[in-house]
Structure 1
């Protein structure tokens, strides 16, 4: 093999190694961004093409009412905070207590829904499009 043929091969080898290292760096930064996603979820909601307003806690529409706890309740609390002028803002703690029930009733009355304090399909639909 001549030295003139080795030059381009060395350049190709160095370029390939550099590309692999950069790709590994991109994977690391993507993984870091994915790890930060739960923090971003707690800070704000997004408009999802299929779901509508979505705060990254819960994407369904199951009936949710006072006494329940968990991500469905967090989603309701975050949606009311993000999509309405309700004041004072709810604490997004996942506990469907009296403050959340009052906010849901307030929301339902302003959207022309049955005011029962229960987040069923109709209330979910209005929260997702508020």
Structure 2
């Protein structure tokens, strides 16, 4: 029973991940995803993964850059921050959960602003699959391997895949 459920979940996740990388009709950018992602991060002053995740402040809001809502410290604010199990009632968690739900094959994630067991487990799974430290904590390394959800106002318009 478990194997058939796991196979179905993998097939669903794989299909969602493959379709998440498709270009969005009418999308404003024609730059390759890696170039667009670097440009966005540079414009927002990100230091990337040069700071240990333990030393990062906790994200408590989100900042918008080129249609992408990034978890951040304040709004607008620095996007080099962390989210972890137990963060709740948090706009940064909402932004992360939107990425997971819309663009990273995780329809089981409820976009509610609470970094609970489901969000932690999905982050841990993605980290393990992508070959980075699987600790369930969102930080710059995890941001680098996730597809980012793009919004025009409150309308989801597509995904920006990892480099």
Q: Normalising by the residue count of structure 1, what TM-score does the alignment of the two structures yield?
A: 0.53
> Retained in 2: the 8 A contact 1:65–1:118?
yes
Pairwise CA RMSD: 2.8
More helix by share: 1
> Which of 83, 101, 110 is the matching residue for 1:81?
101
Q: Which runs of 5+ in 1 are unaligned?
A: 1-46
> Retained in 2: the 8 A contact 1:64–1:118?
yes
Q: CA deviation at 1:53?
A: 8.6
How many Å separate the matches in 2 of 1:106 and 1:54?
A: 26
Cα–Cα, structure 1 residues 98 and 104, in superposed 2: closer, same or farther, change >3 Å?
same
More strand by share: 2
Q: How many residues align?
A: 84
> Retained in 2: the 8 A contact 1:55–1:78?
no
Structure 1 residue runs of 4+, over 6 Å off? none
Q: Which runs of 5+ in 2 are unaligned?
A: 1-35, 42-64, 73-78, 149-160
How many Å separate the matches in 1 of 2:80 and 2:125?
A: 19
